[in-house]
Chains A and B, each alone.
Chain A
Amino acid sequence: MSTRIENVHVFSPRRVGAMMLRYWYLLRSSWPRLLDLVYWPTVQMLTWGFLQYYIATNAGFFARAGGTFIGAVLLWDILFRGQLGFSISFLEEMWSRNIGNLMMSPLRPFELIAALMVMSVVRLSIGAVPVTFLAIAFFGFNLYGLGLALVAFFFNLMLTSWAIGIFVSGLILRNGMGAESFAWSIMFLFMPLTCVYYPVATLPIWLQPVAWMLPPTYVFEGMRALLIQKVFRPDLMLDALGLNVVLFAAGVTAFLLLMQSARRHGSLMQTGE
């Protein structure tokens, strides 16, 4: 008697669905986890929104640059929360000591990555969508007013956040929970370099080429061009996409190499500190 479906497919949507179900059960079971998704983005948006409101009433330029701070906060949150959503779902497996069960199951690395990517969007949606409505209510800033440009911004930022999330997950798999802090902090390295709140021209000249090597820089420049000059820059979005493809491929390659290394060093059995 067979109770198994033949299970050797290279990529199985059913296994991806199983992992999504696992993360969904987890989210549903814990209101603090759900609250945490909304809490910090709300605090960030309100802080920067009120600051922008104050400055705008006292300086002519900021009055003209309506919404750039709030827009930057919301887009930064897509980048940051996207990576965090990916990494936290992965960390849940480490915290619950379940990673050995998954590594020993037929689940393939690409299926785990796909499930984590989808869950990062789900977590981001739960956290960010209510905040975008709060931005409309409090400051009259409608992120959805960016139209199709928002789709380009969102897609590019998510690609970056996934690439970084995949790389960090590989680091944790290889080095154990000692590498957990990277999951929380790595994106802040990008914050000054990707020019979230100021134009690239603000950076020292020698640092500007570094900023232009990072895909989010193009998104934040594109957002300012749209909000201040009312111009959508598809060239910036295409440049960001090209860099994101390279970054994503590098993230996946690093994850697979780190996983191989973990198998060599026996780290998959010792997922503690």
Chain B
Amino acid sequence: MSAAPPIAVERLVKIYKTVPAVDGISFTLAPGSITGLLGGNGAGKTTTIATIMGLVTPTSGRVTVLGAEMPRQRYRVLHRMNFESPYVEVPMRLTVRQNMTVFGKLYGVEDLRGRIAQLGRDLDLTDLLDRPTGRLSAGQKTRVSLAKALINNPEVLLLDEPTASLDPDTADWVRGHLQRYCRERHATVLLASHNMAEVERLCERVIIMKRGRIEDDDTPAKLLARYGRRTLEEVFLDVARGNGAESEAAQ
């Protein structure tokens, strides 16, 4: 087992042409933790996650996942991580089982049939396994994407809006599943979401980004206390509108 932190970001800078998308951020995630990455549009969340995944080369700074520098050493660890994002889809013409088979083979999953059957049970997909993915409802597709993200039992899981387009009941069920998965596998999760209730429920730590920088970074409880707010949504609005913790505390 690697002693290196699951994810370590050190002074990460990413500039597209002349526009800084990420401006010198640093953070380290503890093994087995679920961390929320919050921020408005253009805050730099997607670029940060893409850099951690190795899809973007940093302008400067360093990102390591399970001790491997991204993207240079990504092939050392890509089979130990996975992701889910609404901006990426699994092929729609393939059945759920075919998609799981292809990704399972790409990730080198042993006993693939067993793993697919297990994911079918865990994510309530058993009856859908032989249906084309494109014919499923939005919520069912999200569960398929989640199944793809869990196919290799990842130690590091990056999730971008994992419950978008799910009805409240299914979203709650997915959150419960993610919590169980992390607890049982001791997996580390970085979760980008605009659903503050979801972040409050799932995350033991919240990183709030604005204009490419980290504006705040703490547990949900401490953030609420520092800003004098009752919900993370209110904290998020304070940060987005420039009402800092100091001014809130003074009020």
Contacts and interface: CB of A to CB of B under 8 A. Distances in A.
Nearest to A93: B91
B76 interface: yes
Interface stretch (B95-103, B202-210, B225-233): B95-103
Interface stretch (A42-50, A146-154, A228-236, A261-269): A261-269
Nearest to B85: A100
A57 interface: no
A14 B57 contact: no
A96 interface: yes
A158 B14 CA distance: 40
B16 A18 contact: no
A4 B88 contact: no
Interface stretch (B4-12, B34-42, B48-56, B172-180): B48-56
Interface string A1-17: 01111111000101101
B201 interface: no
Which of A7, A15, A100, A101 is the most central at the interface, judged by chain B CB atoms within 10 Å of its CB?
A101
Interface in A214-271: 260, 263-266, 268-269
Interface residues of A, number: 40
Interface in B44-94: 46-47, 50, 53-57, 71, 75-76, 78-80, 82-83, 85, 87-94
B148 A101 contact: yes
A131 interface: no
B56 A269 contact: yes
B46 A106 contact: no
A14 B108 CA distance: 8
B127 interface: no
Given A3-B152, A25-B98, A105 B107 contact: yes
Contact of B109 (A3, A104, A107, A268): A3
A100 B79 contact: no
A40 B14 CA distance: 47
A12 B153 CA distance: 20
A177 to B, nearest CB: 15
A104 B83 contact: yes
B58 to A, nearest CB: 10
A2 B92 contact: no
Given A30-B93, A268-B55, A101 B76 contact: no
Given A105-B103, A106-B79, A269-B50, A100 B110 contact: no
A271 B21 CA distance: 18
A127 B80 CA distance: 40
Contact of B153 (A3, A100, A260): A3
A130 B16 CA distance: 50
Interface string B199-229: 0000000000000000000000000000000
Given A105-B107, A263-B56, A263-B71, A21 B87 contact: no
A107 B103 CA distance: 10
A64 interface: no
B148 A97 contact: no
A4 B55 contact: no
Given A3-B111, A26-B93, A101-B90, A21 B85 contact: no
B55 A265 contact: no
Nearest to A108: B75
A7 B90 contact: no
Given A15-B105, A98-B91, A104-B55, 9 more contacts: A3-B115, A4-B107, A4-B110, A18-B101, A98-B88, A98-B90, A263-B54, A264-B56, A268-B56
Interface of B: 14, 16, 21, 46-47, 50, 53-57, 71, 75-76, 78-80, 82-83, 85, 87-95, 98, 101-103, 105-111, 115, 132, 148, 152-153
4 nearest A-B pairs in the assembled complex, by CB-CB distance: A18-B105, A7-B79, A100-B88, A7-B108
25 contacts: A3-B111, A4-B153, A5-B108, A5-B109, A7-B108, A14-B105, A18-B101, A19-B106, A21-B102, A22-B98, A25-B95, A98-B88, A101-B90, A102-B106, A105-B103, A106-B106, A106-B107, A106-B108, A264-B56, A265-B16, A266-B21, A266-B47, A266-B50, A266-B55, A269-B87
